[in-house]
Each structure stands twice: as C-alpha cells, then as structure tokens.
Structure 1
Amino acid sequence: MTHWRHSVAFRLFTLTFVVIMLFLSVLLAVLAGSFSSFYERRQIKDITQEMNLIRDRYVKAGASSLPVERFPPYFFQFENDYYAMISLVTLENGKITILRGKQDVTGDSLENELPPFFSPGPDEQSRKFMLALQEWQRDWHAVEQVMNQSKTLVYRSPGTGSLNSGSDQLIAVAPIETGGSTEGTMLFAISSLQPVIGAAKVIRDFSWYAFGVAFVLVPVLAFLYAGILTKPLRSLNELAGRLASLDFSTRIRWRRKDEIGELARTFDFLADNLQGALLELHEANDKLREDIEKEKALERMRRDFVAGVSHELKTPLSLIGGYAEGLKDNIGTGAKREKYVEVIMDETRRMSAIVGDMLDLSHLESGQYRLSRVPFDASELLKESAERADALGAEKNVRMELSLPVEGGGMVEVSADRFRIGQVLTNLVTNAVRHAPVGGRVTLTASRDGGEWHFSVHNEGDPIPEAELPRIWSQFYRVDKARARDSGGTGIGLAIVKQILDLHGSRYDVRNEQGGVTFAFTLPANGIGTLKSGN
C-alpha cells in the first residue's frame, strides 16, 4: 500500500492548501493595502463629477435668484453623501468672502472682510475648512488650474505642520466665475477621508483574523476535498491490484459519465476479457494436461504392450527354436521326435492365439468397430459357456454351476452383439476355470433387475489383492507372474472383455467375495434401454 506522504491524495491536499492560502494571503494583502487608495481615487472621481453637476445646477438656476440666507438642498445632499462641507468662496480685491448656509438655521450668512489668511473658527470642521482654503491659496499651481484654466480640481490635502494636520481630507474646488488668478467665485468643499481610513484599519485587523481562521479550516477542507477526489482512484487502484493478482471477480459498475467513469468501465471490460481469457487458458491447460496424461498413458500402454508381447512370444519362440534345432540335429528318435513336433505345434498355436487376440483388441480399441446388436436369448450362450468350462476344468476336477431365472422359462432376453457377448462369457469362464483350485467350483449366474440383466462369473480360489483390482483389465496383466505360463491364456482376454462391455455401455466390476473372485456385468433387457454403438 502506498504511503500517504507519497500518495496523490497528499499531493492534492498540499497543492490545494498552498494555492488557497496563497490566494487568500494575496487577496487580503491587496485588500488591506489598496483599499484606502482605491477609495480615495473613487472619491476624487465621484466628487469631481458631483462638483461639476452642483456648479452647473447652481449657475443654471441663477445665483441672484437664490436667497442668500439659504443654500439649495442639493448642497446639503452632497455634504451627507461625501462627509463633506461645501461653501461659496469669492475672491475680490484681495478679500475673501465665504458664504456658508445651514439647513437648520435661517439667515446664517457670514460676510467677512479678511486679510488673505484668517484664524479658524471655533468648531473643528470650520477649522479644517479654513486650513484647506489656506493650503489651496498657497498652492499657486492649484490656484492657476482653477482660476485661470477654469478646471474643477479635487485632490488630497498634503496637511500642515509636523503632524500633517488636515491630511485626512480631500479638497474640491469648482470655479463659477473667474477674473484672473486673484478674483472670482467658486465652490469650495472638503470631504473627510476619516471613515475610509478607519475602515481600512478594520480591514487590516480583520485580515489577520481571516487568515488565522483560514489556516485552521483550509487544511480540513483540503483534506476532505483530496479524499473525495481520490476515493475513486483508490478504488480503481484496488481493482488494478486484484487484476494483477489474477482475481477477476470484482467489478466497479459505476455509472459516472466523466473520465473516471470511463476509466472504471475500461477496467471492468478488461476484467471481463481477462477472466474469459484466463478461463479459456485454464480449460486449454486442463485439456492439454489431459492430453499429456492420455499420451503418457498411451505411451505406457505401448511400452507395456511391447514388453508383454515380447515376453509372451519370447518363450514360445525359444521353445520352437530349441526343438527345431533338435530335430535338425536328429536328436532323439521315434516318440521323442514326435514330442518335439507336438511342442512346436502347441507353441505355434499359442503364438497364433496371442496374435489373434492382439488383432481383436486392436480392432476394438480403434474406435471404428460397430456392434451388431440384435435381440437374442443369452441363456444359450450361458449354457455353451458352462459346457466349455466343464471341459476346461475336467483335468482339475472343477465343478461348474449354472443359475438361470425360473420365470420366463429360463430365457434371458437381451439386446446386444451376440458374438461379442459370447466372447465375453467365454473369456470370463475360461479365466475363472484357470484360477479355480483343484476340486474348486465356478458359478455362472443370470438375474433380472428391472430393465437390466445382471451376469456374474464366480470362481473359488485366492482373492485378488485390492491394490491390483483396478489393473486387472490391463493387457498382459497377471496377478501371479510366477505361474503365468502354467495357467495358460494370452493375458489379453480381460482387456478384450473390457472393450466389448464399454462398447455396450455396460456397468461391470470385479470384486473379492465368498472365498473367491466374482466378475459381474450388466446388459439391457430386450426392448428396454439404448445401447452404446461404439466410440
């Protein structure tokens, strides 16, 4: 799992926190540092426009038609809007006449004949007004713009004295009539900047508080934002990890329509394809493994077959060769030579039987053999097999018992290949007689169970070791290798039985019971069941 400090969430959190805090810091710094100057510029622009409007209205209305003792209402509206004090100032013959009206006092006009500079009045606003008027008069450039150029002038007072008294106000002068730089009539006003100065101080103080609050809240919000934004990525990363470990069982199934949703659907599509490909690969591997095992089994069968054939043919060939050389060298006379000939003929017949069985088994195993199924009475084959067993067991005094059903007149009607079933019974009976002890008993039984006939061949004698039972159907396999030739047989009979019963779809087995060994198999009763027609 990725360490959080190296994760996308941490990087997104850090980037978000830094960007927001940087933006907020710049915003608060700009707001605190430029608020006053912005407000001042805005006030200068607005006051300039307003002073021109007031002057134009005052001139249009006609100054002579207005009562001296009272200013027009829009003068007082201007004062209220801009924290201002406005008066009519007349310069004539070196004298200054100030006309100041009040909204709540009638007849309060003041006409003074003063020297160029006079002492301020008793109240603070009047004192600031007089100081501003004196500052304007001292500034010859400002006087030149107003009196000679007839320009409305609004600027911030530079202040006087060591404390810059009056620097917290704007001076506004709008000419009405001018007659040179020393005579004329004008609107003169001062507008206090104290409210905005106080507001700027409050904004600066507030900025520190806002920055502190943001420093606490922004990390929390950035963490939540990063977590929400990277949660889908974590889910996709988990799915990718499952895919890397070949676990294709998980799907996201998101319905988002953004890029992450497209990526999730791509992952699901990839998981589906990989799961299908892996399943096909497993199936191919299983089939390949089965084919390899079959090939190994076939190879083992080939080796066993070659070894078995070599073993089975080696002895008769040796006997034939030995006795033939004896005949060639004229060893023995009369009955002895006849004995040699008889041995050669017996071994030849034995070799012929082995070859015949091998060809028969090869034919059955080829998959091309087709059964000739017909309904017939299997009791005839059972009786023939019993007679053959009596003949084979006569030397060992083996008793043969045949058990047929009483009902149905002893008939055993089946649907099968008569020739091949006869071969099965012959091989099983011959095998039973061969392994029965002297004076032993072989029992051949047929019984019906529903739609099937059950056949069994039991011989008394030594049981087959349980570990050897599954191999009893193999070619050339014998439980007792020591007495293989003495017991007779080719070693292929049970393998032929297995192939024939497999073609019939029969159920068969071999088991140890009742002091001996029992081979059993089933066949469908005539008209019931469907028989297997081959591989």
Structure 2
Amino acid sequence: MIKRIKNSLTIKICTLIAVVLAVSSGITYAVIVGFLPTYYSKQLQKDIDSVSQEMIETIHSYETINEASYAIELFEAGSKVSVVILDEQGNRIWPAESTAVTEDVLDNGVVEQGYMGDMILTHENSAEQTTIVQEENAAYEEGVIGQADVVTEDVVQQADGIAEVGDNSAVKRYSVKVGGETYTMIVSGGMQPVNQALEILYQILPYILGIAIVVSILFALGASLYLTFPIVRLSQLAQNMAALDFDSSYQGKRTDEVGVLGESLNELSKNLSRALEELKSANEKLKSDIEMERKIEKKRIAFFSAVSHELKTPITILKGHLSGMLQGVGEYRDRNYYLQRSLETTEKMEDMVKELLTVSRIENNKFITQKTDIAEQLRLQIADMAELIENKKLELQVEIPEHLYADVNPVMMDKVFSNLLLNAIRYTPEEKGNHIRVLLKPGTDTETVYCQIENTGVFIPEEALVHLFEAFYRVEQSRNRQTGGSGLGLYIVKMILDQHGASYRMGNTCDGVCFSFSL
C-alpha cells in the first residue's frame, strides 16, 4: 500500500488535499468556538450602547424616576436587557423593593398596562392575580437587584464605564438626569444565546467532523483527478515517445501550464517523428549509396580486370612477334610481315587506350551541354563513314531533317554517332541486299529528339541483349576479333546517353538489329 502511494501521483495529491481540507475544517471550527463569545460580547456592548442612548433621551423628558418607570419597563421588555438605576449615594432607586403595581394603579378606573416580566396587569385583575403578580415581581426584582448589586461594584471601578461580569453578561454604565437629579443607569445584557450556540456546537461536533472528513475526501478525489488526469495522459504520451511511437497525441483543451505542456509534447512528437523519418530516409539513401558504391566498385574491378585481360592478349602477341623476330625462328624471319602485324596490334592497343581514357573522362567529369544542330553532326559522321560503307558494298538509307537542335555536348554526341555507325557497319555482313538505315526526327515533344540506326542481315541472341552495354562484352568472340572492335563502343554510348538523361534500347527487328534513343 505504501509503495502504491509512493508510485501514484493521484493518491498523493488526494491524500494531501484531504488532510489539508480536514485540518482547515478543524481550525475553522476551533476559531468559531473560540472567538464566538468574544465577538458576541463586543457586539452585545455595541447594541446595548445603541439602544441605551435612545432610552437616556426618553428618561430626560420625565420629572421623576417613578414617572419614567413605565418607559423603562418597555425598554427592558423590548431590548431584552436589565436596567438598574442608582442615586448619587449608590442606592438603588429602580426597580423599587415594593411591588411594581401600586394600589393607586389598582384603584384607578382607567386601565393601565405595566410590563413586569412577561405579565400584563389591568384594573380588572382579581386579588388572586394581583398576589401572583406581586410574588413574581418580587422574585424578578430580587434577581435583578442581586445582579445589579454585584455589577455595580465592578462597574464603579471602571473609568470608561464598561465592564464584563464573568462570561455570562455584559454591562454598561450611563449618567442620566431626571428632574434636576443625577442618577447612574446600569444596563446589562446576558450571554445566554451564545452559550446555547456553543453548547449546540459541542453537541454536533462528531457530525461536523464526519461531514468534514467525507466532504474533504470527495473534494480531494475530484481535485486530484482534475489535476493528475492530464498529467497521467502526458506521462503515457511521453512513454510512447520514448518507445518511438508518435501516433498518439495530447487531445486536451486546457490553456494553463498543463495544456501548454501537452501542446509542447505534441510539437515535440511531430518534430521527432519528422526527424526520425528524415533519418530513416537519409539512412536508406546512405544504404542505397553504399550499395551503389559497392556495385560501382565491383564494376570498376570487373572493368579493370577486363581491361587487363584485353590488353594481355595483344601484349602477348607483340611479345611473341618480337621474340621470334629477334631469334630468327622459322616464319618470323620474314620480319617485314610480322612488323606489320605488330604495328596493327599496337594500333588496336592505342585505340583501346583512347577508349579507356574516354571512359575515365566521362566517369569523372560532368560535361557541359549547349544548343547544337545534331542533324548536321550526324550528316558529318555519315560522311566520315562513307568509305567504309562503300568498301562493304552496303546500301545506306538516311532520313535526316535539314536542322534539328538539342541541348547536348557536341564532342560526346559525335562519339555516340561515331560508335553507333561504326558498330552497324562492322557487324553488317557483306551480302547483297543488306543495308544501314539512319533516322533522325523530332520526338513527340518539341524539346525531344528521336534517333534510330538499324543494320540488317544479323541478329543478336535474346539472352545476349541485356549484356550488350557491358564493357568488353562480345556476343561471338572469334567474330568480334575479325571486326577489330575494342568491346567498349556501346559501353561508352551508354555512359554518354546516361549523362544526357536520355532513354535508349537495342533489339532485334524483322530483318536486323536496331538501336534507338530519345533525348
């Protein structure tokens, strides 16, 4: 239980508020009980002073105390106070020791009313009633006189005219003049109402404590739930965020510090989610880049391995020719013949080295494009290949517009056209009816260009089509040796077109092979 209280903010706040409310209720009860008599006594003195001032003005209008006795009785009955009047020697003048109802009052034919306690007397009262009234008045006077005698001794000693007798009354002393005589009027009020109230408070103390405890618990429970419920939700939200779950959010509408904290957590959750997504994206891109770099590295290794292999063959041939000629062995004695063959091998090696330099330049440099008339470029390249075409007795079909402009690198595009035309010429058999078809036209978009170069009389196996753009790949090694290709032509074309963002494809047609691209 103690561990649960320590781990629960709701229980802590509920317990704290309940204790505070219960203690506050007890303190309030103690303050009421402690200060009520004092407050009532002070208020009673103010009330006595207020009503006594009016009584003093009334008494001043009479010639004697006896004449004012009726007014004094009315004052006592209406104000719930007791009045004692003393002369200058301190002797009690009113109420008199004799009965308050005189024989003159009883004998008068006029009906007079005199208030003696709660009894009203008239001349119609019988002797029996008169006796009862006299006895009651005597008892009343005895009580008042006894109280007054006691009070007077205390009152006379007060310089300001105010004194308290025990805890049961409050008195006040006044100087009055009646008929030229000076009298002392002492007015006293009892504390009985407040004493009764205190007694009632003591009697209902258990009920007050029970109600205070129950109400304190209920209010504490409500307040703790109001205060801690959003905090519990925020705590759960923070735990979800710690677990990298950003789907939940604070939905409260409070504008206080708790609401501000909730909105801040929502904003933090969004920022963390966005940062995590960006981190994931960056991580995926990094993985992709690493994978791409690995592929490039593998291709580079494979490329250099192929380069080494391709260079190894002509170097071996050169070495054999030179060794045979130096030693004068057999057919190598015909030096002129083998020197010519060595020169041809060297030229092939030179062409390969140039192609390798081109590949390196394309890989390591972003070339600059400019608006170029590629129709004119293509015509010039065809003109350069005209002798080769004539030697192989091939038919040339050309469909090129007068001018066609595109944003390209002129040097690189010359390389593309040269390699594609040379490739088509080399691999077209010297047979009657074979031809080379060249098409250049605007694409479906005014900013694109479509080019197609087709040669007939030869087909490429379907399984070999996907490998045609790989470095040093040859469909038929023996045949390619006869053509004298380096194996890098289409590979270079692919790299240049990739740099231009062009799309391209190579495939078989009904009577040959066609390469097309658009940019």
User: Does the alignment reach a TM-score above 0.5?
Assistant: yes
Could you list the per-position Cα deviations for residues 418-457 of structure 1 after superposition, in whole angstroms to 9, with x for gaps in the alignment?
7755643443354456667897967534264555443133
For 1:245 and 1:271, locate their aligned partners in 2 and report how far apart those are by CA, in whole Å.
12
Structure 1 residues 37, 104: CA separation in 2 closer, same or farther (over 3 Å shift)?
farther
Could you list the per-position Cα deviations for residues 3-46 of structure 1 after superposition, in whole angstroms to 9, with x for gaps in the alignment?
99845444333332321222123213442x33663356336644
Could you list the per-position Cα deviations for residues 184-224 of structure 1 after superposition, in whole angstroms to 9, with x for gaps in the alignment?
98656664444333333444556655554554444444444
1:170 corresponding residue in structure 2: 169
Could you list the per-position Cα deviations for residues 211-262 of structure 1 after superposition, in whole angstroms to 9, with x for gaps in the alignment?
5455444444444434444566456556655665667899989998865566
> Counterparts in 2 of 1:54-133, with a 5 A limit?
61=60, 65-66=63-64, 68=66, 70-71=68-69, 73=71, 76-81=74-79, 83-88=80-85, 97-98=96-97, 105-106=113-114, 122-123=135-136, 127=139, 130-131=142-143, 133=145
Match of 1:444 among 406, 415, 437: 437
2:302 corresponding residue in structure 1: 304
Quick check: 1:424 aligned with 2:416?
Answer: yes
The amino acid that maps onto 1:27 is: T
For 1:324 and 1:74, locate their aligned partners in 2 and report how far apart those are by CA, in whole Å.
161
Alpha-carbon deviation of 1:56? 6.3
Could you list the per-position Cα deviations for residues 155-175 of structure 1 after superposition, in whole angstroms to 9, with x for gaps in the alignment?
148xxxxxxxxxxx5375858
Structure 1 residues 498, 372: CA separation in 2 closer, same or farther (over 3 Å shift)?
farther
The amino acid that maps onto 1:367 is: K
Match of 1:494 among 482, 490, 502: 490
Secondary structure class of the residue paired with 1:444: strand
1:457 corresponding residue in structure 2: 454
Alpha-carbon deviation of 1:355? 0.8
Structure 1 residues 264, 72: CA separation in 2 closer, same or farther (over 3 Å shift)?
farther
Alpha-carbon deviation of 1:351? 0.8
**RMSD of the alignment, in Å?**
5.3
1:473 corresponding residue in structure 2: 469
State the TM-score, normalizing by the size of structure 2. 0.68
> Counterparts in 2 of 1:132-281, with a 5 A limit?
133-134=145-146, 144-146=153-155, 153-156=163-166, 170=169, 172=171, 174=173, 187=185, 191-204=189-202, 209=207, 211-230=209-228, 233=231, 237=235, 240=238, 244=242, 259=257
Quick check: 1:510 aligned with 2:502?
Answer: no
1:13 corresponding residue in structure 2: 14
Corresponding pairs, count: 475
Structure 1 residues 230, 356: CA separation in 2 closer, same or farther (over 3 Å shift)?
same
For 1:149 and 1:229, locate their aligned partners in 2 and report how far apart those are by CA, in whole Å.
59
Could you list the per-position Cα deviations for residues 369-392 of structure 1 after superposition, in whole angstroms to 9, with x for gaps in the alignment?
667833528467558658736756
Conserved 8 A contact 1:17-1:219: yes
For 1:214 and 1:108, locate their aligned partners in 2 and report how far apart those are by CA, in whole Å.
47
Structure 1 residues 40, 98: CA separation in 2 closer, same or farther (over 3 Å shift)?
farther
Alpha-carbon deviation of 1:97? 4.0
Conserved 8 A contact 1:89-1:99: no
Could you list the per-position Cα deviations for residues 64-103 of structure 1 after superposition, in whole angstroms to 9, with x for gaps in the alignment?
x13515426466345433x33434468769xx94378699
Comparing 22-31 with 447-456, greater Cα deviation is found at: 447-456
The amino acid that maps onto 2:372 is: R
For 2:428 and 2:300, locate their aligned partners in 1 and report how far apart those are by CA, in whole Å.
31
For 2:462 and 2:218, locate their aligned partners in 1 and report how far apart those are by CA, in whole Å.
82
Conserved 8 A contact 1:85-1:129: no
Alpha-carbon deviation of 1:47? 7.2
Ranges in structure 1 where 5+ consecutive residues have no aligned partner: 111-119, 158-168, 178-183, 395-399, 524-535
For 1:197 and 1:287, locate their aligned partners in 2 and report how far apart those are by CA, in whole Å.
89
Alpha-carbon deviation of 1:349? 1.9
The amino acid that maps onto 1:225 is: A
Structure 1 residues 441, 4: CA separation in 2 closer, same or farther (over 3 Å shift)?
farther
Alpha-carbon deviation of 1:320? 1.2
The amino acid that maps onto 1:444 is: R
Conserved 8 A contact 1:173-1:186: no
The amino acid that maps onto 2:313 is: T
